[in-house]
């Protein structure tokens, strides 16, 4: 979710790059930098923090030249710092690269390049790209980039310059967005349309596996194999705010649709080359340390707490270690029993949640090892935990969390599988089966998103009510709690989630004629019992919306409306079943005329107790 801009033309590129980066600030970033061809060769300025820091450096020492690239970084590999900021270069300082995405095999490439004498100065995966291109350069930058891309695994959008061919800017897209802006006597690249809208409204939108070679007077499109492509220009008629949202009406809807990419990015390099095992290099625990774990505490707030509820089931099922889940604001005050054999897992999108930080510090004071799941590399949680699993969801702008939550689920699946592999609590065939289904989740989310209109119809019915209930059993109950929270926080409809089996113990008294009930009936081993509970609320007049898995045909006989999610292993189903509930909340809020991205009384990151 970083921002890329690039320019080649006749104007001073520095100013265009900075203005383009400003238009991409909504994507989130922790550092920024530019590279410009000047009369003294390729010159780079970069700085941690806001763009104002970079601008201050450039005010003191401007870069004058008509071709350049710029970048705002959201840290994945390596903490936020000046040296880890983009653009990156090779040792000769003749090649410069900006990069969005992840190079999954960067470690092996880096080791190979070090053996050849390359010296690395940053902690990033991106620096590998500039060294790799330099090592493959034989007088043609386009061919060198093509060869380098064939060596790299992962997701990337690239902007590449070399001092040896100072009239060219090379752009590449593979699973990370990139567009080309076409002007008169000047051309542009950008990771999003807003970066170039002040200068042109004519663009090429690169598809996966395509690249472009820009000079000031021409743009050549081609495949990564070098086959030329002919394509009509797209004329942008959106305003700048709409463009920032990539054509979506709200950031929340955009972020819901970004979940397949977030799943792929979070899995990324954490699956081995065979795609059947989990590799968590960032977890430094030895097998002996893992073997010494006697219990696990998962501590989080709000949506992250709901991810922890799923995490509990994952770890207990795969590893057979007892797990407790606590709301962070309550954790310290119940005097939890923490020993050196306790593993404490803290979960926070921002990594700055005050209650979660306090819980982390309490755990460490009591001698526990702490593993953090967070979306922000340089956050307080990331710095203070012993091990960090970063979710590569990219920044979330909407207050209501969607892709951050589901990326946390992916992190829990990976960690649970990693523990099971290490302790051999599951056989190889079982782990391979789960990983195989895990890799299929992004495509299955995409198929759910294609059916958004069906959920919109549900939401418009729900929006006319002031009270609503979610029910489910097992993992379905964990997801029901997240669905209920999402609906409350942006639609302001009073909503509660109940374990379906508990209805007879009091809450059935709340069911009255016409009240909506969202029933999750996805867990195979609990399906019949859930249907019995559904019939109980139906008998008392509830209007029931049911979610079931593909292949199941009985639920529709017991509910008023159904929505089918693609089949996956029951353990993995929360990563799918929550998506229609996110859409339900979004469309219900929309139908009630609310500010979807900024619900009343709420903030994105809670940094006070």
Local structure of residue 263 (DSSP, 8 states): H
Catalytic (active site) residue 2: yes
Q: Which two structure tokens, joined as six digits, stand for 133? A: 């291109």
Rg (CA), the chain: 25
Helical segments of 324-427, H only: 328-331, 354-365, 380-384, 403-423
Give every CB contact of residue 61 below 8 A, 6+ residues apart in sequence: 45
Give every CB contact of residue 112 below 8 A, 6+ residues apart in sequence: none
User: Which residue in the list 2, 216, 301, 486 is annotated as catalytic?
Assistant: 2
Give every CB contact of residue 119 below 8 A, 6+ residues apart in sequence: 91
475-491 vs 574-591: helix crossing angle, rounded to 10: 20
Give the span between the Cα atoms of 167 and 171, in whole angstroms.
14
Give the span between the Cα atoms of 515 and 531, in whole angstroms.
18
Angle at 415 between CA 609 and CA 527, to 5 degrees: 90
Helix (H/G/I), strand (E/B), else coil: 425: coil
Longest dimension (CA), the chain: 81
Give the span between the Cα atoms of 538 and 557, in whole angstroms.
11
Q: Which of 411, 429, 431 is nearest to 420 (CA)?
A: 431
Give the span between the Cα atoms of 235 and 483, in whole angstroms.
39
The owner of tokens 């410009």 is 36
Helix (H/G/I), strand (E/B), else coil: 602: coil
Give the span between the Cα atoms of 585 and 76, in whole angstroms.
30
Instruction: Write the DSSP assignment of 293-324 as a string of letters.
Output: --EEEEEE-HHHHHHHHHHHHHHHHHH---EE
> Is omega for the bond preceding 87 within 30 degrees of 0, making it cis?
yes
CB 332 within 8 Å of CB 359: yes
Catalytic (active site) residue 604: yes
Instruction: Write the DSSP assignment of 517-570 as a string of letters.
Output: EEEE---GGGHHHHHHHHHHHHHTT-EEEEEEETT--SGGGTSSEEEEEPP--G
User: Which residue in the list 79, 147, 277, 604 is annotated as catalytic?
Assistant: 604
Q: Which positions are catalytic?
A: 2, 604
């Amino acid at each position: 979710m970083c921002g890329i801009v690039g320019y080649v033309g006749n104007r001073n590129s520095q100013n265009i790059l900075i203005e383009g980066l400003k238009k991409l600030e909504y994507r989130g970033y922790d550092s920024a930098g530019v590279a410009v061809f000047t009369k003294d060769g390729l010159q780079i300025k970069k700085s941690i923090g806001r763009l104002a820091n970079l601008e201050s450096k450039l005010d003191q020492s401007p870069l004058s030249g008509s071709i350049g690239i710029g970048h705002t970084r959201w840290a994945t590999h390596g903490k936020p710092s000046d040296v880890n900021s983009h653009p990156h270069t090779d040792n000769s300082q003749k090649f410069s690269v900006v990069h969005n995405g992840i190079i999954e095999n960067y470690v092996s490439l880096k080791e190979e390049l070090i053996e050849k004498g390359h010296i690395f100065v940053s902690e990033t995966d991106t620096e590998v790209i500039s060294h790799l291109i330099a090592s493959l350069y034989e007088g043609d930058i386009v061919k060198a980039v093509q060869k380098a891309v064939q060596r790299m695994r992962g997701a990337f959008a690239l902007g590449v310059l070399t001092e040896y061919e100072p009239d060219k800017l090379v752009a590449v897209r593979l699973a990370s967005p990139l567009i080309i802006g076409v002007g008169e006597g000047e051309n542009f690249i950008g990771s999003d349309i807003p970066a170039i809208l002040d200068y042109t409204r004519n663009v090429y939108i690169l598809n996966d596996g395509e690249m472009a070679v820009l000079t000031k007077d021409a743009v050549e499109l081609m495949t990564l194999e070098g086959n030329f492509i002919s394509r009509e220009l797209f004329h942008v008629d959106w305003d700048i705010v709409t463009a920032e949202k990539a054509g979506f009406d709200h950031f929340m809807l955009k972020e819901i649709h970004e979940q397949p990419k977030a799943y792929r990015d979070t899995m990324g390099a954490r699956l081995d080359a065979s795609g059947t095992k989990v590799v968590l290099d960032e977890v430094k625990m030895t097998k002996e340390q893992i073997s010494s774990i006697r219990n696990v505490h998962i501590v989080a707030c709000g949506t992250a707490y709901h991810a922890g509820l799923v995490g509990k089931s994952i770890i207990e099922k795969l590893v057979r270690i007892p797990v407790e889940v606590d709301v962070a604001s309550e954790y310290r005050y119940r005097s939890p029993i923490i020993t050196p054999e306790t593993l404490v897992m803290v979960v926070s999108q921002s990594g700055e949640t005050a209650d979660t930080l306090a819980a982390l510090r309490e755990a460490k004071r009591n001698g526990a090892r702490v593993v953090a799941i967070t979306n922000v590399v340089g956050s307080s949680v990331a710095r203070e935990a012993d091990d960090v699993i970063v979710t590569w969801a990219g920044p979330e702008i909407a207050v209501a969390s969607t892709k951050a939550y589901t990326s946390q689920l992916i992190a829990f699946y990976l960690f649970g599988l990693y523990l099971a592999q290490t302790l051999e609590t599951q056989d190889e065939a079982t782990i391979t089966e789960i990983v195989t289904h895990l890799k299929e989740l992004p495509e299955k989310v995409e198929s759910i998103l294609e059916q958004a209109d069906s959920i919109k119809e549900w939401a418009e019915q729900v929006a006319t009510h002031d009270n609503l209930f979610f029910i489910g059993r097992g993992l379905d109950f964990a997801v029901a709690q997240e669905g209920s929270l999402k609906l409350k926080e942006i639609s302001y409809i009073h909503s509660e989630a109940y374990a379906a089996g508990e209805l007879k113990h009091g809450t059935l008294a709340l069911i009255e004629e016409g009240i909506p009930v969202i029933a999750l009936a996805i867990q195979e081993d609990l399906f019949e019992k859930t249907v019995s509970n559904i019939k109980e609320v139906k008998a008392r007049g509830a209007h029931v919306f049911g979610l079931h898995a593909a292949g199941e045909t009985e639920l529709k006989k017991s509910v008023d409306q159904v929505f089918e999610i693609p089949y996956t292993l029951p353990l993995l189903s929360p990563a799918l079943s929550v998506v229609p509930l996110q859409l339900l909340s979004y469309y219900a809020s929309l139908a009630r005329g609310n500010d979807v991205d900024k619900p009343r009384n709420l903030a994105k990151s809670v940094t006070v107790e």
